[in-house]
């Protein structure tokens, strides 16, 4: 019987520089989060399926990777971190005063269509601000998201803001049923303009139609907010986004902000401001988040909440490649000289020297040649000496 040498679909091995690049992004993000007062939590890799299915998770069930525990209960590999952290905040941290600033550094697992080559393993770093509503909390999280990308060294990036309430406000003016609203939302999200125009035809007399028809095109700078008001009049959602932008601009973050009022995904999950972060060189968003005021209450503790997650690998791929260290010295030592050998390795830049496992100096010299090192540093009864390869 032959041993399987391939990894399962959607998984792969990561080597050397790629691992270092991932660790670098994780270290920079978690350092920022701790500096801002967030405390780390960790949740199990496997959770009961019902935790996500019954809580209104933002992840569709068909993208969850299902497993069974020994008793036969359906479990899933953690598809997102926000839901289990909401559970923790409502249970294990129930006695802890709100607001709670929590951060995580863990992998989520999602099933992706085989044809797109997507990974099933997504390392994420993110924050959740639980128990805080209103503009100051939203601004804090957006600022933290911007600073997260800055801390990673992203040169050119922006964060796009939207509001889950804007679509709901416009749809409400048409007095549609839930099924019709969902149909319209799907048309807008899919940018199916011809079908959307046909859907809106019976409502042409309603001023909201013009905004709904152009919703997926309402993206860009702050001028988008004025365009939205011109199309549909004043709305609480657009007014709120304008206030948030003013705060961000006053703090020096305005240059990083754009708007996309066509963000209509998961409107049953998000309850307020939503946002995505884009870095030049990445095809898709590398960061996403928003306000989800109804989730924590599902677990028995009413608390408003907002947060975001960073796709660590997606960010790492946009940064300059890290060159692996070059091995220059192999350290050979005779019995009794291990302490000196370790001191020599530890005193050099990481990765530029290593201990030789060989018994003889000749073997250590051959090892150094094979690895491209310049010399062998020897510790024996005659003292310390460098032998060029």
User: pLDDT digit string (tens) for 125-159?
Assistant: 999 999 999 999 999 999 999 999 999 999 899 99
Architecture of domain 16-156+280-318: 2-Layer Sandwich (3.30)
Q: What is the average per-residue pLDDT within 39-49? A: 98
- How does residue 226 score in pLDDT terms, banded at 50, 70 and 90? very high
Please report which helix (H) or strand (E) contains residue 349, including its range. none
**CA–CA distance, 75 with 4 (Å, rounded to integer):** 26
Bridge-based pairing of strands 287-291 and 100-109 is unpaired
Give residue 67's pLDDT. Answer: 96
Nearest-10 crossing angle of helices 193-200, 178-189: 150
Angle between helices 16-35 and 135-151 (to 10 degrees): 150
Residue with tokens 């370790």: 342
73: part of which helix (H) or strand (E)?
Answer: none
Residue 2's pLDDT band (cuts 50, 70, 90): confident
Q: Are 79 and 59 in contact (CB under 8 A)?
A: yes
Tokens of 78: 């953690």
Whole-angstrom distance, CA of residue 364 vs CA of residue 366: 5
Distance of CA 223 to the CA centre of its chain: 28
pLDDT band at 258 (very low <50, low <70, confident <90, very high): very high
Q: Is the pLDDT of residue 363 over 90?
A: yes
d(CA 182, CA 264): 10
Length of the chain: 389
* pLDDT score at 368: 98
Residue with the larger pLDDT of the pair 10 and 89: 89
Mean pLDDT of 361-367: 98
pLDDT of residue 299: 96
pLDDT digits (tens, 9 = 90+) for 191-203: 888 999 999 999 9
CB atoms closer than 10 angstroms to residue 252: 10
Cα→Cα distances 36→26, 75, 90, 141, Å: 16, 34, 22, 10
Tell me: pLDDT of 114 over 80. Answer: no
What does pTM read for this prediction? 0.94
Contact 179, 245 (CB under 8 A): no
- Model confidence pLDDT, tens digit, residues 310-330: 999 999 999 999 999 999 999
Q: How far apart are CA 141 and CA 154, in angstroms?
A: 18
> Residue 346: pLDDT above 70?
yes
Segment 45-94, tens digit of pLDDT: 999 999 999 888 888 889 999 999 999 999 999 999 999 999 999 999 99
* Residue range(s) in the chain whose domain bears CATH number 3.30.930.10: 16-156+280-318
How many other β-carbons are positioned within 10 Å of the β-carbon of residue 24?
Answer: 17
Range 329-388 classified under CATH 3.30.420.40: no
Q: What number of other Cβ atoms are within 10 A of residue 52's Cβ?
A: 21
Which residues pair with residue 127 across a beta bridge?
103, 308
Q: What is the pLDDT of residues 260-298, one digit of tens each?
A: 999 998 778 999 999 999 999 998 999 999 999 999 999
Which is nearest to 278 in space by CA: 250, 315, 243, 242?
A: 315
Angle (CA) 238 239 245, round 5°:
85
| Max CA distance (Å), the chain | 97
240 φ, ψ (degrees, to nearest 5): -65, -45
Asked whether residue 382 carries a pLDDT value surpassing 80, the answer given is: yes
Q: Is the dihedral of CA 13, 16, 22, 26 positive or negative?
A: positive
Find the angle CA(112)-CA(76)-CA(301) to the nearest 5 degrees.
115
Return the pLDDT at 1: 66
pLDDT number for residue 163: 97
Q: What is the pLDDT of residue 116?
A: 54
Question: Which pLDDT belongs to residue 21?
Answer: 96
> What integer best gives the mean pLDDT of the chain?
95
**What average pLDDT score do residues 176-189 get?**
90
Q: How are beta strands 100-109 and 39-40 bridged, if at all?
A: parallel
Torsion of CA 287, 258, 261, 141, to 10 degrees: 50
> Which segments of the chain belong to CATH 3.40.50.800?
329-388
Confidence at residue 282, expressed as pLDDT on a 0 to 100 scale: 93
CA–CA gap between residue 275 and residue 245 (Å, rounded): 13
Residue corresponding to tokens 């309402």? 218
Report the pLDDT value the prediction gives residue 117, as an integer from 0 to 100: 60
Confidence (pLDDT) at 283: 86
> In which residue are the tokens 């839930």 written?
178
In the chain, % helix, strand, coil (3-state, to 5) comes to 40, 20, 40
Per DSSP, the three-state class of 270 is coil
User: What CA–CA distance (Å, rounded) separates 89 from 100?
Assistant: 8
């Amino acid at each position: 019987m032959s041993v399987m040498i391939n990894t399962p679909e959607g998984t792969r091995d990561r080597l050397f520089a790629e691992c270092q690049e991932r660790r670098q992004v994780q270290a920079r993000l978690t350092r920022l989060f701790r500096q801002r007062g967030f405390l780390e939590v960790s949740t199990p890799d496997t959770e009961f399926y019902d935790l996500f299915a019954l809580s209104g998770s933002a992840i569709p069930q068909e993208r969850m990777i299902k497993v069974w525990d020994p008793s036969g209960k359906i479990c899933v590999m953690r598809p997102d971190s926000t839901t289990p952290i909401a559970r923790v905040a409502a249970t294990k941290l129930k006695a802890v005063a709100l607001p709670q600033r929590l951060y995580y550094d863990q992998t989520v697992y999602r099933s992706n269509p085989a044809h797109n080559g997507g990974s099933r393993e997504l390392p994420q770093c993110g924050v959740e601000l639980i128990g805080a509503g209103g503009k100051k909390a939203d601004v804090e999280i957006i600022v933290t998201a911007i600073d997260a990308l800055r801390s990673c060294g992203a040169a050119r990036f922006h964060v796009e803001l939207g509001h889950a309430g804007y679509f709901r406000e416009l749809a409400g003016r048409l007095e549609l049923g839930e099924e019709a609203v969902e149909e319209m939302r799907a048309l807008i999200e899919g940018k199916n303009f011809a079908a959307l125009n046909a859907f809106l035809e019976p409502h042409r007399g309603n001023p909201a139609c013009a905004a709904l028809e152009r919703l997926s095109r309402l993206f860009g700078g702050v001028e988008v907010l004025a365009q939205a008001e011109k199309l549909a009049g004043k709305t609480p959602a657009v007014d709120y986004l304008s206030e948030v932008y003013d705060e961000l601009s006053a703090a020096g973050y305005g240059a990083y902000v754009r708007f996309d009022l066509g963000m209509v995904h998961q409107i049953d999950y998000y309850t307020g401001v939503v946002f995505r972060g884009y870095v030049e060189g990445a095809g898709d968003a590398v960061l996403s988040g928003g306000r989800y005021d109804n989730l924590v209450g599902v677990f028995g503790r009413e608390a408003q909440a907002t947060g975001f997650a960073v796709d660590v690998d997606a960010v790492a791929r946009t940064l300059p490649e890290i060159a692996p260290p070059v091995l220059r010295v192999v350290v050979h030592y005779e019995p009794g000289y291990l302490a000196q050998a370790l001191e020599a390795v530890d005193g050099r830049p990481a990765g530029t020297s290593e201990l030789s496992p060989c018994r003889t100096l000749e073997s250590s010299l051959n090892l150094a040649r094979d690895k491209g090192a310049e010399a062998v540093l020897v510790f024996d009864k005659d003292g310390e000496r460098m032998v060029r390869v």
